[in-house]
Structure formats: structure tokens, C-alpha cells
Structure 1
Amino acid sequence: LHKAEDLFVLNHSHDLTRILYVSSALPEELENYAGKKINISRVGEEFLFYEAEPTELLEYLSLLRDFMQDHAYEHHKHRYGLRVHKIAAVMSCGKNFAIWKTAGRRIPWQTPDAPNNIIHIRLATGSAVEQMNAHPFSKLHTALTHNGETTNYEALRQRVEQFNLSPLASTDTEVASLKFHLVADEWEYPDWALFESFSPTTGDDLKLVDPEIRAQLEQVQRVEFASSPDGPYQYLCLRHNPYRKATERVDLKDPADLRPNISALWCDANKSESRFVSIIASEEHAVRKMLELLDREKIIDGAEADQTFVNSGMISRCYFDDTCQINKFELIDRYGKPVQLENSGEHYSVRRKILSQAIDESGYQGWDENYQRFFSENLKKLSFVEFRGLLENRVNAAASDLEFSRILELLSWLNDYLKTLDPGTKALSSLLDIVKLNIDRLLDRAGEEIFTNYFRIDQNAAYSFDRSPENGDSLVIDASGFLQEGTDPGLSLASFLSFAYNHGWRNFIIYRASGHRLISTAVMGSGDTDDVQMDVYGAVGEYFGAFMKGGVIRLHGNAQNFCCMCMHHGELYVFGHAGKVCGYASKGGKVFIMGNVVDRCWTNSVNDSRCQDLEVMILGSPNKYAGESLMGGRFFFAGLHFDQKGRLWLNQRPCLGSKMFGGASRAEFVFFDPEDRLIHAQYNHGKLIPFTDEQWQIFDKKIRETFSLSNIQLIKQGGAEFLELNGKEIEYCKENFKLIVPRGGLKGYESH
């Protein structure tokens, strides 16, 4: 009965919006239906309702309703025209569910009291700027927003019109929202079937799925494949079930992973009230800004996520009680399986809590003389206040260039390697938040006169900047006021880097980066930049290290899409994850990434003999289409990650996707695979070959360097070496590594 009532409300609301806002019954059709002439003024093919008397208007509206009920639009389109004079539209009709659509930029922050409020100001870019085309699109207890394109609009439209649900807007997004309503609300597909109806698992990817559900996925595809969206898209959906008291965000992504996304989780279940935040965005700096706001509003403690990752489809589901308070939450992957959340520990807000006095260091004399050993042994026992106090004491006490550089080195080590240490009951994210805040505080001090080897500048002084360095000085740049991109050196960070380089600067420290693009030596001129050193802190934007022609760049955080794209030579170190299309069209260079890389890494790259060898060391795993059309280079993928307690674990697989080496002619991929998780379906275009002595000697050196850069120690025991991971010791030996090369046979590529 609930379902019948809901569908009646939805269909009635849909029909009302159709006849009162989108379409107008043609005057002749309406008069024929009424059996009489309608005495209301008309212009063209439409009655002017606003000129009617109240009794005439009531009769007219009743007639419209009856006409619509007897002549469903989907089967009688020839009886309708496009309504020019709008009357009214139903924006949302669900229980405890509301959306707001506007053709402008005004957002109604005073939202209704409900467990769900979805707000999105984006307008459709491929259709008329009109209120009905604005996101989100709501259908009873679902709502959908969209980033990208749906290229098979007609296939989706035909599918939903089979069930008398024609689109009310003129944008591709609404047909997707109608299909989402059908499978997620009206038909209530299981979670895995919901994902499969939108983003089908095909080809080699099916072989990576558990065999017991493979047949189920194919059955859904037989029904839904033809109307599954095509093109580059990311749907952010909301589904609400008032009867089960559940509400959820559903992340739907195209199966080819063409659209960027980053997901972030923050979870604290250590007090009487559990708190949970799930965020998805296109780039990390948006996540960072959101967490800062939530921390400021005392909703969470700390502005750092517990986990950041890329998801190919996920449900963030919350359950609420009669007072609309959330009392339970869970994550579901695209195959309907629960995602296990690690207990991150107790959180701490460094911005809201003030230290009343400096910490007493009498029990920690000389701790900073060997800070790596000190924190490795004592981090677990230190309280948040003690950890914070030790760092703040050093930042506040810095009084010389030597002390400044030593403290920055200490803070940078913590920033990069906290994830490898055991924090005890404390959340690693909150410790990292403390470290990042102290890095900002220290670099803010670079403008003080006592530090002669550092010169600090922000955007306010960019236009008047005319200083040249002396004796290898470092230029410290506060990026927060600069635009993310542009050509004006007084406004754009990348342009200012070029301006500073032309003034002779070669050592750069950039902090408070927030989505700034093309932070690279590439902007510094047309020649080689081998004498440049750059350290970057914050959440950078796309094209980090792209087009490098020399120098050393260290990123103390995650990179986004197109990292080290078109790299010629130089050294790039990323102490975090990297995004999509990493290393595209590179010709050489040395790259280290202390995390995963997303799809299409090093596509169309070549090991050009005219420049530095292309050598890549990845602590984590690649994803789909790795090494597509690759023509050279040596790559190592460890397939490892650290958990919330600093312990080392194997990823689900050494490579997280399929279609490796498609169209590739030459390269060497080495995977650490002690449990034989890499399967042939992932490298159909490649082949597994044994190491020669020379190859193993080369890769042994690169593997050891990767572990060293990741703060991973090899344990020597009985003449052998071991790695401690997955809670056990695994021997470091050639037999636990796999060498994959392109299968070859492509005519014209034999010499590469």
C-alpha cells in the first residue's frame, strides 16, 4: 500500500508538472475534448490562463488535469505543444525529502527540517539555462546530480518511457534520474544490481569479480545494458527510504573511469555518539575545504580525512530514528558487499583547542636530535597535547636559518611518514592535521628578518616583487591568495613561478596550495631547469610536475590528475597518491609515488634515448588501462598500503584493474605478488617472463629504493631478508616478484 500510494503521488506530481509547466495541450485538442469552445484568450497554441476569471481558471485547470489523465503524454505527444507561459511545477514530492532548483546562484541555506537535503547550483551546459534544467533532478525519494555527458540519451529515454515516465527537462541528466528512480526506488533493485544497471562490468573486468556473482551481473546486463548510460559521467545520487528509516548517497561512475573523483571518509565511534562523514569531489582541495568547515562548526574534530581513495561505485548509507537522528551507518561497494571501516581512533581539533601553556619537555630531553627514532618508539604513548606541544615549541623557538631548516625537515618527515608509525589510540588524521598546521605556522615565520636565507611572499606582494636571491636563498610562497590558473603573474601561482625563475630564483617552497594547477618547473622557461629544487605542501591541483625538463620536485601530499604528464627529465617525489592519466606521454624522468595511481598511467609514453631513462617506482597499485600504448620504461608496483595503525598490508591485487599494456610495444612492469593475486585476465596484452640476472639486479636496486623512500625496513634473519606485512613475515626474494612485458607483435613498433 505504501508503494501504491507513493507511485500515485509521483505520477500525479509528474503529470501536474507536465501540463502546468512543460507542455500545453493544443487548444483544438482541448476544445474537442471539452466538447465546447473555451472562452479564454489565447496566443498562438496556448491559452493565456492569467487573463481568465477565477471560475474560468478553475474550470480550465480541471480540464487540463482530466485531459492529461485520459491522454498520457508518452502516447499522445501530437496533442501537446511546448508551454511558454509557465504556471507551476512540483520540485519534490517525497516524504522527508526536498530539493530546490534555481536558474541562478542563490542557494536557500534555510533548508527544510529533513534528514536529506541535497543542494547543487550547477546548470546544464548543453541545454537551455532554465529552472527545470537545473540540478538536482528529483523523483519521489531519489535525487540525482551529474558531472559529464550521457551520450546515449535516446536509449535511456526510450527505456523510461516504456513505463510512462517521459523527461520533463531538455537535458541528458533527467533521463538518467528517471532511470535511477525506476531501479532504485520503484523497483528497488538490490545494491549490486543497481550499480550494474548503470555501470556494467564487462570484458576482462568480469573475471576480477567473485565467480558466485558473475552470472547475476550478466543477467542484469541482459535487461539493462542497452539503456545503461554511455559516455564520461559521474552521478551523485541520493536515495531515501522513509519506511526503513534509511538514507544514502549513491556514487555512480562510468565503467571506463573517464570522470575524476576522490572520496574521503571521517569516522569517530569512540564516544557515546558516533560521527561519520562521507565526501566525494572532483579534486582533493574541495574535500579539504569541506572538512575545515565541518571542524569549525564542531561537527567533526580535525580537518583531515581518515581515508582518501578513488571509488568505482559506493553507497554511503545512514539509518535514522524517529527524531531524524542518525544512529547507524555503513558503506556498501558496487557489488553489494560491506566495506569494512578501520577504527581510526580518537580525534582532536587543533584549531579549536588552545594550549594553555607550553609543554614541559623535561621528560623528552634531546628528542629532536634523532626525531625519527623518537617518534617511531614514542608516538604511540604521546598524547595529542604532548605531540602538539613538542612541535609548537620548536616552531616558536626557531631563531636561525639552521634551526628553521632543521625544523622544516622534521615536520616534512612527519608529514610524509606518520602513516608508517603506530599512533596508539590517536587518529592518524588528527596527528597529521597538527603537523600540517605547524608547517604553515613555521613557513609563515619565513618573513621574519632573522631568517636571511628565506624570503616569504604572498599574492598581495606579487605585483611589486623584484627581489633576486643571494647565496642560494629559498623563496617561500604562500599560495592561498593566488588563483588556481591563469596567465597574470600577479594573480596566478604558475605564472608567478615563471616570473620568479626569471628573477634568478631556483629554490622554492610552496605552501597552502589549494587546487593550484601546473605547479612544475615547466612554467619556468623553454630550456632545462636542472638547477631547480621545489618542495610543495597542501592540496595541489591538476598537472602537478607536468612537462618537467629537469630539477627536483617533492610533493608532501597527494597529487591529482595528469601528474608528471609529458615529463622529459628530472626527479619527482609524491608522498601520497596520484590521480588519473599520470605520466601521460612522458619521455623520461624518475618518479616515486607513495600510494596508488588511478587509471591510464603512463599512456603513450616512451623511453626516449635522447634524455633521462624513464623509471617509475610506485608503493601502491595501478588501475585500469595501465601502460596503454606504452613504448618503454621500467616500472615497479609494490601493491602495498599502510593501515590506521601504521602496519603494512597487501592491496587487494598488485594491479587493481585490467586492460594492462593495450597497444603497448615495449616496457617492463614488475609487481610484488607474494600471494599470486595478479591474474592473466589483467594483462591479456602482456606476458609473464622470468627475470634475467641483469634485470633482477636493476630492479632489486629500484625496489629497495622504493621501500627506503616509504620508510619500510627489511628485516634480516638467518641470511635472508623479510618484509613484515599482512601480520606475518614474507621473504624478500626474486620469486615473489612478477615481470610483465607487452606481448608484442604490433607491426611498425619492433625497434622501440
Structure 2
Amino acid sequence: MTNTNKIIQNILTSRKRLPHTKTPVNKSNEEGGCGVTGFMANIPIAGRHIYEPSVQMHNRGNGKGGGIAAVGLSASDLGIPKDVLEDHYLLQVAYLDEDVILKVESTNINPLFDIYKSEKIPTIDDYTSIGLEVKPPDVWRYFVRVRPDVLEKFIRYNHLYKMDKKKAEDEFVSQNSFRLNQTYYASLGEKQAFVLSHARNVMILKVVGYAEQATQYYCLDDFRAHGWIAHQRYPTRGRLWHPGGAHPFSGMHEALVHNGDFANYHAVCEYLNQHNIYPQFLTDTETSVLLLDLYNRVFEYPLEYIIEALAPTTEYDFDCLPPEKQQVYKYIQSQHMTGSPDGPWFFIIARNDPYHDLMQLIGITDTAMLRPQVFALQERDDVQIGLVCSEKQAIDATLQSIAAEDHRFCPIADKYWNARGGSSTDGGAFTFTIKDSGKGDGSKKLITQNKFGEIVQTPEGQIHYDITIDLSDSFKKNAQTKKITNLFNTNDLQGIKQYCSSQFTVLDFQDIRLVCGTIETLAEENDGKKAMAIDLLTHLNDRIFPTDNKKRSSVLQIIRESLTTIFKSSPKIGNNSNSMYAYIDRAGRKDLRGPQGNEKILVVNAKEFEPEGKNCDSRMINKAYRLGWKQYICYGYKGQRFTGCGLGPDSDDVRFDVYDSSGDYMASGIDGMEIHVHGNAQDQLGQIMKRGKFVVHGDVGQTFMYGAKGGEVYILGNAAGRPLINATGKPRVVINGTCLDYLAQSFMAGDPLNGGGFVIVNGITFDDNGKVIDLTMPYPGSNLFSLASGGAIYLRDPECKVVDEHLNGGVFTEVTKADWDLILPYLKENEKLFGICIKTDLLTIDGDCLPFNKVYRKVMPKSALETKKN
């Protein structure tokens, strides 16, 4: 037996001596989605910035369990020297019963540790003042090191002589926390105390409430850390309505939050039991972090192997791996598949690695990708931040909150993306790592990598802009402003669009701001110029044009600020003006009435509306429709849901233009209306859609068009997992990017050549200069057209990269002239909407314009093909 194996065996044997309670099998409660969010920056960020994204995901929680964790803490905020923070364990104990504080300290703290500092964490005086119904526990924090004699005795007794002494100290701290929890929590009916966290440079706090209430109650608004994570909703298993059962959970030097529920919870517990590990809080989230700790600290697997053990690579993705990686992964799966979490789950992990002097934020999704997730990255001159959340709107809320205080940050990320669990391309996991910059000044840098260690980054050499610079005295001095004014006076909207698209490539930020400021001023002259201004700025917002050395996110920030200014300048509905525009927000909803005079467009500022329920913007819009409003500009979204829903049948004369961070379920059940989303959209869009037109100038999230029955839909970017599942009737959909997996599963849309439905997947994206390029793989996932019985998929795949292994019940067949005549009108509309040229961008391959049947392939249900042959 090697020294490593001996150490592992001795660690596990030592744990066998710990008192424990056999994990019972318990039914999950209220299965469903949680709200998880996190970010990691190269500079410390105040705790109040985890507040807004947490608040905006209340509809993913229930107020019965929430928590936060911070990593890379500020020594000055804790009142200790930096070397103490880095060397000592931050042991945090939650006391539910004040009478046991002295007892706990006398048994599990004072005799075992040298204590540098101990103190009760400050709290607000009245917990009910922030809406809490259950008083959170008093939390004491202890900065400790294991006493040398105690550690030596522990090493001798457990035969850990060959183990690194610091790692042996980690094991002692972990086992001591287990004993404390067993005595004062797990073995009792009435709980008295439990360990929240015991890591170096990591802190966890949780309450029976919402996540942001933990930051409020424990006075963390100004407390700074490099990384923060949060979780809304009590666990699906374990002790509910109890702070001990809320997320995050701690392993050793990490904190983990989890959205989902394990179908094999008992099997995972049995796997842990075989290694003498016994969960105490009885929730699947706890077992998740125990698995992580086992693989990381006991087996000492590299992060890639930990991810593989948790989310194994299977099927065609496994076949696509290099042979040497297949060999390693096959061994990992043979040892750990029985302990791999099964069912819907998504993890966000914040951890400190004191042995390599780095901190990490990690997002891992399950191989079936059954829970939503969005990653984002922003890289600026001297600040960088990585983010991962259940919803994109929570990412935007985080950036907006930070950017409002620190203008080095932008409220728009440079890059957004989804992960595909278990994939051979990115592994379904991404890591944001903070380490020393190497400049010798103590500064940090952020590195973003996928599971395989490949770097993810934004375009190099680009600069950002501080939008707070005052340009009020510069407008009349700029030649560009005069040119824009002259073009507006000619009413040549197409010419203005072409001019601005080309000029925004070469102009610097200041000139772009001046041009947009001029457009704002022109919009004030009359409704005609206002309509032109909105159309122009929307075009610039939607189209992907070259930005030269400028960050596209900064250009978008300028454009969107101008759009917001123009929208907000619309006459308030209570003023009864003669404009075609009428503005309404939550404060003015009492003035809602039908359109009068020239009024045609209701401008809805959704910012202060609730995301759903009786006071949401969707309910107000529904009422406005009954009063006669047919055209809507909706902006200021912060995740508000159900836009366009509930208007009933035959809404053909209704149009929505939606800006900013819209929420889930948009366009669900619509019957005839037209909705344009000017940016990325979120999950569950277009569900059971019957008729209408739906255009998204960006990506869409999970379960897009679930159960849809019809409609004409155009997506500029990608769809995440499970689009068009169980769709029937005749939906006609163009997706210019790709889908991550399970596209059109159980599709039942008849024969497309006889009025049925279909999906076109173009498999393209845009390079840094705004040029259309092919994706590496037109469709990377599995189960393409799985179990479909009708309809078709027209896949742009000139190199035939998609193979039979991607399919499940579908078959490839040639695209006929009839097929091309069917889809060509939709590709022409796609060209009109997004500027994606059929001839040069879609049919031209390596410089040659090819026939349509050499570029596109058709996927049909096997049963439909057999019927056709017969």
C-alpha cells in the first residue's frame, strides 16, 4: 500500500470512531427550483451587492430558508491582522440556546484550540424590522488554531504521521465540528447549537428567511470579500423551517449552494456511509459538499476529476474525449458512479485553497441540465468579475448594484453563456479563480476556465468607458452631432442606421456619447423624431457590429442609457397630453385609462413592479389591453415575469417591444400578438404558444416553447436546454445559434410540407468584429429530435458534423426543393430581422456559395420516414 493510500485509509478509519446517527430515508418536500447566485472579483466587494440579486429571486424562494457565504474576507473589517486571517480557522458556531455557549466552549473549543480572538457577530436589534418571523441564532466566531499538543495526539492516535501537518489540522477541525454537531444538534430533538463554518477565510451565515435578510441581520452591508454566494428557499430534504437546514453548507474550506433535488439521495448517503461519512443535517445539499470534501481533501483529486466524479461524461460526449482522458474517466466512473448525484441539480461553490493561495467560484451543472444556470464574465483594466446565477437578470442586478458605486464596473457583462452538463467541449462546469497578479503590489487577477482548464476570456486589447464623465458642454462642438441632426431632418431612417453602425465602429466613446446625446435631444422635438430615435437606438442595440478597441458592453451601456432617457421623457399618462406616447410606472398605475387623442403606445417602466402576483406589471398590462392599448414599449425590467401573457385569443394587432432584463414565461400562451425582445431572454418562454410572432435579439434559456402549438419565432443566438419539448401543431422556429441538448424532444408537429411545424438551426455565431462565423459544432448535445413523431429539423451542417449518435428516434434525410421553398421565406425574414444574409452568411462555405442541399440537412422522425416510404 502506498503512503497516499495509507493516509486515506487512516483518515477514513479515524472517522469511523466518530459518534453518528444512521441517515434516515425521508421524502423530499416541495420539489422545485431554488434561487442561487454568486460572484467572484479580483477586488473585495461589499456584502450589500449580494442583496439585489437575492431579492430579485424571491419567486425562486419561499422565505423559509436563506443563506450567504463569503470567501476572501477583509482582515480590516474583521479587526484582525491579515496573516491571522490567512493562517487561522474562522470557526463560526450558531447558538440556538444561549445557555449552552459556555458548555460548548468548554468541551469543543477552549481545551482544543489556541484562540486569537472570539466575539459575537454583530446583529441588528429587532429581527422583525426586516421581515423575519423566526429569530436567527446568535453566532460566535472564533479565530483558532489547534493546540500543538492536541494536534500531535490526534496525529499519533490516528496514525497520520505521513500526512502534511496542516492538512492533519484540517482533519482535526472537521472532526471536531462533527462531534459538536452530533452532541448539540443531530442527536437532539430540541436543537441547541451547530457549526456554520470552520474554514480559513470563509464565512457562512443563514436564517429562516430570505438570503438577503442574513446580510441585513448580521450587519454585512459594508463587510467586504472577494466572493459571495447566496441561496433562496429551504431544502427539499431535511429539517425545514430551521437555519441548520438552509444553504450554504460547508465542507472544509468551501461553501456550497444547490438548486435541485437528488433522486438517489439515499444511495448517495449509503456511498458516504461506506467511507465512514454520516450526514447530520439530512439534506441532499449537505451530501453534495461531503462528496466534494471527500474527493478534494481525502482523495486529493484535481478539480477536473472531482467534477467528473460528480457529473460523469457519458454517451457520445464520452466518445469525443481523447483516449487518454477516456481511460481516466472510465476509472473515475467505475469507482464513483454509485455516489454521483442523480436528478436535477446545479451547484455553486465558493472555496479558499490555502495550499495554493487562491480562491475560486465554481459552477457545476448536472449531465441532464435540468436546472437553469447562466455564467457571465467582465474583464476591465484593473477590475474583473465572474458571475453565475440561476437567472441572467440576477447577474445584471449584481453588476448594476456594483457599477452604481464603482464606475470601473459596467452594468452589462462582456460575455454571457450557459454550460452543458457532462459535455466534451466545456465539461458543464466553469471556474473563476482569484490569484496573485504577479505585479508585486498585492493585487489580484481573475482567471476563468472550463472543466478541462481551457481559458475563457473576452477580446483582448479593448477598453471600457466611464459613463459618469460630464459632456454637457461638448454637444455643439462635435461634427458628428451636426451630421446626425442633418440626417434626422431628411427622415432617412435607413441611412441614419447605416451611418451610425459604421461610425460607432470608428468613433471613440466620447463621440458616441455625444451622438447619443444629440439623438436624445432630437427625440424631444416631436413624436416623429422620437419614433426615429427609438428605432435607431434599438437597431444599434440589437445589431452586432464591430467596435474596434472598445468594449461592446460599454457601447451598449451608452445606447441603453439613451433609450432609457427617451422612454422616461414620455408624457405621464395622468397628464393627458396629445402625444402618441404615454408613460406609466408603478407609482402612476392608479392613473391607468384607455388611450385618448393621438395616444398609441404605452411606455411601461417595469422597474418597481413586483415580478409576479397581483401587483406585477403583467397584470397591469393585461388591464391596459382591456382598456384599448395595443402597442407597448416595456423597459426597466429586473426579472419581471409573464410579459404578454393572459391577453386571450385573437391579439393580432398587439405588439410588445421589451428591453433590459426581462423574466421567465414571456409570450407563454400567446395567440396572435408580436413580441420583440431587444437582448437576451430567460427561461420557459413561449410555452403553449398558439399563434403570433416572437423575436429575440439574443439567447433564450431553458425549456423554450414547451408544449407550443404554433407561432413564428426567430432567435438571434442560442437556446439552452430542452427547447420545443412536446410541441405540436405548426410552430416555425429559426435558431441562428444552437441548442445545448434535447432539441424538439417528443415533437409532434405533423408533416412540415403539409402545414406542420419545423425548426431551423443555423449553427452560427459572431466573431469579435461582428462577422458571422460557423460554430465548432452545429448541435453539440444529445437526443436531437428524441422520440419525435412529427415535424422536422433543418440543420445547417455542411460538414456533416452531427452524427447518428446525436439522434434518438430521428433520421437524416436530404433537403428537397420543396423543403427549401418551405423554409426560404423564414430565412428571408431572419435576414431582415438580424442582418444574417442567406447567400453570404449561410450558403457560402469556405468562399464558395453552395446549393442549399449541400449546406442544410433534414432530420425527420424515423416513423414519419417509414410512413412516407410506404
TM-score band, normalised by shorter chain: 0.7 to 0.9
Change (3 A) 1:184 1:355: farther
Match of 1:317 among 420, 433, 442: 433
Corresponding residue of 1:26 = none
In 1, distance between residues paired with 2:698 and 2:258?
Answer: 28
Change (3 A) 1:298 1:603: same
Change (3 A) 1:739 1:7: closer
Match of 1:144 among 234, 248, 256: 256
Partner SS, residue 863 of structure 2: coil
Change (3 A) 1:723 1:128: closer
Match of 1:675 among 783, 795, 799: 799
Which one-letter code corresponds to 1:441 in the other structure?
T
Partner SS, residue 524 of structure 1: coil
> Any residues of structure 2 matched to 1:279-290 within 5 Å, and which?
279-290=387-398
Change (3 A) 1:102 1:566: closer
Which one-letter code corresponds to 1:402 in the other structure?
G
Change (3 A) 1:19 1:224: closer
Which one-letter code corresponds to 2:590 in the other structure?
Y
In 2, distance between residues paired with 1:500 and 1:59?
Answer: 63
Corresponding residue of 1:306 = 414
In 1, distance between residues paired with 2:821 and 2:109?
Answer: 86
In 2, distance between residues paired with 1:583 and 1:344?
Answer: 39
In 1, distance between residues paired with 2:98 and 2:566?
Answer: 68
Corresponding residue of 2:855 = 737
Change (3 A) 1:294 1:697: same
> Any residues of structure 2 matched to 1:448-487 within 5 Å, and which?
452-470=579-597, 473-486=600-613
Match of 1:153 among 259, 265, 285: 265
Is 1:703 paired with 2:827?
Answer: yes
* 1:95-119 Cα shifts (integer Å, max 9, x gaps): 3333234445332317877655555
Q: Contact conserved, 1:517 with 1:540, CA < 8 A, in 2?
A: yes
Q: Tell me the TM-score normalised to structure 2 length.
A: 0.73
Which one-letter code corresponds to 1:315 in the other structure?
T
Match of 2:449 among 332, 351, 360: 332
Give 1:583 deviation, angstroms: 1.1
Give 1:140 deviation, angstroms: 1.7
Change (3 A) 1:166 1:219: same
Match of 1:83 among 153, 165, 188: 188
Is 1:380 paired with 2:498?
Answer: no
Q: Contact conserved, 1:245 with 1:319, CA < 8 A, in 2?
A: yes
Corresponding residue of 1:407 = 533
Corresponding residue of 1:36 = none
Q: Contact conserved, 1:146 with 1:234, CA < 8 A, in 2?
A: yes
Corresponding residue of 2:202 = 97
Is 1:569 paired with 2:687?
Answer: no
Q: Structure 2, unaligned stretches of length 5 or more? A: 24-96, 113-149, 159-174, 420-427, 750-756
Q: Contact conserved, 2:740 with 2:779, CA < 8 A, in 1?
A: yes
Is 1:416 paired with 2:546?
Answer: no
Give 1:677 deviation, angstroms: 2.4
Larger RCO of the pair (alpha carbons < 8 Å, separation 6+): 2
Corresponding residue of 2:703 = 581
Corresponding residue of 2:235 = 124
Corresponding residue of 2:76 = none
Which one-letter code corresponds to 1:459 in the other structure?
R
Give 1:209 deviation, angstroms: 3.7
Partner SS, residue 91 of structure 1: strand
Corresponding residue of 1:524 = 647
Q: Contact conserved, 2:811 with 2:862, CA < 8 A, in 1?
A: no
Give 1:260 deviation, angstroms: 0.7
* 1:469-500 Cα shifts (integer Å, max 9, x gaps): 445611111111211111x3xx2211111111
Change (3 A) 1:162 1:300: farther
Which one-letter code corresponds to 1:310 in the other structure?
N
Q: Contact conserved, 2:414 with 2:458, CA < 8 A, in 1?
A: no
* 1:377-409 Cα shifts (integer Å, max 9, x gaps): 222221111111111122123211101111110
Corresponding residue of 1:508 = 632
Partner SS, residue 694 of structure 1: helix
Give 1:586 deviation, angstroms: 1.3
Which one-letter code corresponds to 2:766 in the other structure?
F
Match of 1:648 among 747, 753, 772: 772
* 1:297-346 Cα shifts (integer Å, max 9, x gaps): 21633211111111232111221379995533322223443335432721
Match of 1:536 among 658, 662, 666: 658
Give 1:546 deviation, angstroms: 0.9
Q: Structure 1, unaligned stretches of length 5 or more? A: 23-47, 608-612, 716-720
> Any residues of structure 2 matched to 1:678-697 within 5 Å, and which?
678-697=802-821
* 1:630-652 Cα shifts (integer Å, max 9, x gaps): 02212211111123331222223
* 1:449-479 Cα shifts (integer Å, max 9, x gaps): 7761111111112134223344561111111
Corresponding residue of 2:245 = 133
Q: Tell me the TM-score normalised to structure 1 length.
A: 0.83
Q: Contact conserved, 1:17 with 1:90, CA < 8 A, in 2?
A: no
In 1, distance between residues paired with 2:8 and 2:327?
Answer: 31
Q: Contact conserved, 1:686 with 1:740, CA < 8 A, in 2?
A: no
* 1:586-634 Cα shifts (integer Å, max 9, x gaps): 1111001111011111111112xxxxx4211111102211111102212
Is 1:277 paired with 2:361?
Answer: no
Which one-letter code corresponds to 2:431 in the other structure?
I
Corresponding residue of 1:291 = 399
In 2, distance between residues paired with 1:93 and 1:504?
Answer: 60
Give 1:160 deviation, angstroms: 2.4
Q: Contact conserved, 2:578 with 2:598, CA < 8 A, in 1?
A: no
Match of 2:275 among 155, 163, 169: 163
Which one-letter code corresponds to 2:360 in the other structure?
E
In 1, distance between residues paired with 2:866 and 2:533?
Answer: 55
Q: Contact conserved, 2:376 with 2:395, CA < 8 A, in 1?
A: yes
Give 1:122 deviation, angstroms: 4.8
In 1, distance between residues paired with 2:867 and 2:246?
Answer: 49
* 1:220-255 Cα shifts (integer Å, max 9, x gaps): 111111100112111111232112112111111111
Which one-letter code corresponds to 1:139 in the other structure?
G
Match of 2:787 among 633, 638, 663: 663
Partner SS, residue 447 of structure 1: coil
